[in-house]
Chains A and B, each alone.
Chain A
Amino acid sequence: MADVMRDTFARTMHEVGVADPDLLVLVGDISHFALQPFAQACPGRFYNVGILEPTIVSMSAGLASLGLHTVTHTIAPFLIERSLEQIKLDFCYQGIGGTLITVGSAFDYATLGCSHHCYDDISLLRGLPNTEIVYPASPVEFTRLFADTYRNGRLTYFRLPKETHGVDFAEADIVLGKGLRVRPGSDVTLAACGPQLRTALAAADRLAARGIAAEVLYFPTLKPFDGELLAASVARTRRLVCIEEHVEFGGLGDVALRAARHVAGLKSDFLFIPDAFQRGYGTYEEHCRALGFTPENLAARAAALCADTAGESA
C-alpha cells in the first residue's frame, strides 16, 4: 500500500539534504530503506541509531546544540510518549531547535494494539513551550512546512498520517500557523485536521443535499493555531463541529473552542477519540467507523446543531 506521507518525507530529506550540509536524519530502526537516497547522497548524515528512542532524542538535541539541523524519526508512541522528558528537557527547555517526525499516530497501526497507537501526542507537545505542531495530510503541506521550519530554532513536530485527505492545495496557501477555508458556507463550521478533512468534505456534500451550507476549515498546524480563521467562521455560522483523530483533551477541539470563546450563542459538538483505549484491531477504516468518523455521522451531528434553534432568538 502506498505510504504517501512517508515517501514524501524521504524524498524531501534527500532534496533538502543535498542542498543543506547541516541536515542530519536520525531514525529508530524504521524507514531506513525509504531514506536510502538521502543516506547515499549525504554520507555521514544518516544514522539508524537503534531501538533506544530517549537516547536518540537527547543525542539529537546535542547535535542540534552545535547548530546542526536534526530530523528525528520513528513511530509516534516511542518518539513522543516514551521520550517526552527528553523532548522537554533536552530540546524545549534549552531552547534548542530540531524536527521530530512520526508515523503511526492515532490508530494508523490499527492491528498492532495499544503499544503502537498514539492519540495524545498533540496534547503532550502542545503543553511544552518552544514547540510547533504540524499535521500535514498531503505532500505539499509537508514539503512547504518542513522547508519553513526545520532551521527556525524551534522544535517542530510533524505528525505524518498513513492516509491523506485527497485535496490538492496550492503551495502558496500553505503557511505555518494558518488554516485554510476549503469550502465556504454559512450555516455550520466543520473544523478538521489530518485525513479527516476528507470526511468533513463528504459530510458537507451530504449537508448541502439537505439545504445546509457547511463551511469546512482545515488546520495543518495545531500550534500555532489559526484562531482568527476559526473565530471569524463561527462568528457567522454560530455552529461548530470539530473532528480529529486525537483524544478530546488538548487537540483541535480544545484549541478551537478557546478561539471561539467570544462568539455569543455558539453551539458546538466534537468528534474525537474518547477517553478509553482503542482495543479493536482490524483496519484504519474500521476504527474510523467505530469512532463515528464517517460522513454520515458528522453530517448528522452538524445537522442536529442546525436543527436545534432553541434560544437562538434570545
Chain B
Amino acid sequence: MEQPACASADSDNKPTGMTRLPSTPIINQDLRRRIVDLVTHGKGGHIPSAFSIVDIIATLYGQVLRFNPERPRDENRDYFILSKGHGCAALYAVLHRHGFLSGAQMENYLGFDGILGGHPDRTKVPGAEASTGSLGHGLPFSLGIALGLKVRKRCNKVVTLVGDGECHEGTVWESALVAQNLGLGNLCCIVDYNGSAAQILPHPDIAAQWRAFGWQVREVDGHDPAAIADAVKPFMAAGNDGAPTAIVAHTVKGRGVSFMESHGPWHHRIPNLEEYAAIMKELE
C-alpha cells in the first residue's frame, strides 16, 4: 500500500506551482462571455445550464481545489467531476482560465478533430476526471474514486456537481446510500438547484432528502463565490471519514442574462447575431 499522502497534500490549499485566479462576480462575467462565444461559434451547447454552474466551478478552482494544470493527473490533486455534463461550457471556460486548455483548443470547440465536445471527455480533456453526459453516472463514479483514495490511504478530496433534474436518477440515491454507509467523508456532492426538476417532478425538500440519507448538508447561494467557498472549505478541512457532504446550491438557470433566465426556450438554443449582441451587452 502506498504511503499516506496526507502529509504531502497542500495543507493551505494552494495549487501546486500555480498562482490562484480567484472567482469573483466580475471575473465570472468574463467566464460567461467566454461561454457565449464558445456556444455561438461552435454552434452548439447549453448556455443557461453553464451559467447556472459557472460561479460554482470557478470558485472551486479559484478558491478551493488543489490542482496542477501542468500535470492534470498529479497524484496530489483534488478531483472535480461534472456529472451534469451538458453544462461543460462552464467547465471548459474555467479550465481555460486556469491553464488546462489552450486558446486554440477552445476555438476548436465542437470541431470534428477538437477535444472539446458537447459533453466532457476524460480521454481527451486535460482536467476532466470523468466522461459524462448521461445523467446519473458522475456521482457513483465519484464514489468509486473517493473509496479508492481511501483504500490507497490518500487525502485528496472529491467534489461532484449534479443537477437537480439529475437527482431524479436512481443511481444518485443509490450512491448517496452507499457513500454514507462507507463513511466517505472525502466526497462532496454539490446540487445545482436551479429548479429544472420542478418543471417536471419536483423534489419536495431536496436538502431534507440528502439529510435523510445521512449526509451533512449545507445550503448556499450558488452565485456568491465567497459563500460557495465558505460552504466547501469545512469539507476540505475535515478528515476523510464520516458523513459525506452535500451542498445544495441555489442557482438560477441562465443567471446573468435577463432573457435567458428560467426555463424557457434557451436551454439548447444558439444566439443569432442580434441576440449575441444583446447577451454581451448584459454581460458587460
Q: Mark B119-153, 1 if CB is under 8 A from A, else 0.
A: 00011000001110110110011111111110110
Contact B174 A52, beta carbon cutoff 8 Å: yes
Interface size class of A (residues with CB under 8 A): 20 to 34
Contact of A95 with B123 in the complex, beta carbons under 8 Å: yes
Instruction: Please classify how large the interface on chain B is, using the bins under 10, 10 to 19, 20 to 34, 35 or more.
Output: 20 to 34
Within A21-80, the residues touching B (CB, 8 Å) are: 21, 24, 44-45, 47, 49-50, 52, 54-55, 57-66, 68
A41 CB to closest chain B CB (Å) equals 14
**Prevailing SS type, chain B contact patch:** helix
How far apart are A70's CB and chain B's nearest CB, in angstroms? 8
Q: Which chain A positions have C-beta within 8 A of B146?
A: 62
B177: Cβ under 8 A from any A Cβ: yes
Name the residue in A61, A62, A90 with the highest tally of chain B Cβ atoms < 10 Å from its Cβ. A62
The answer to whether A21 touches B1 (Cβ under 8 A) is: yes
* Given A52-B174, A63-B147: A58 and B140 interface contact (C-beta under 8 Å): yes
A50-B178, A85-B134, A93-B131 are known contacts. Are A59 and B151 too (CB-CB below 8 A)? no
Contact of B141 among A44, A52, A90 (CB under 8 A): A90
Interchain CB contact under 8 A, B137 and A59: no
Closest Cβ–Cβ distance, residue B152 to chain A (whole Å): 7
Chain A CB within 8 A of B52 CB: no
The listed residue with most A CB atoms (<10 A of its CB), out of B130, B131, B148, is: B148
Given the known interface contacts A21-B1, A52-B178, A95-B123, the answer about A59 and B141 at a Cβ–Cβ threshold of 8 Å is yes
Residues of B within 8 Å of A65, CB to CB, are 122, 129-130, 141, 144-145, 148
A residues contacting B by CB (< 8 A) are 21, 24, 44-45, 47, 49-50, 52, 54-55, 57-66, 68, 85-86, 89-90, 93-95
> Which A-B residue pairs are the 8 nearest by beta carbons?
A62-B144, A58-B140, A52-B174, A55-B174, A59-B144, A66-B148, A63-B144, A62-B141
Which residues in B have some Cβ–Cβ distance to A below 8 Å? 1, 122-123, 129-131, 133-134, 136-137, 140-149, 151-152, 170-171, 174-175, 177-178, 181-182
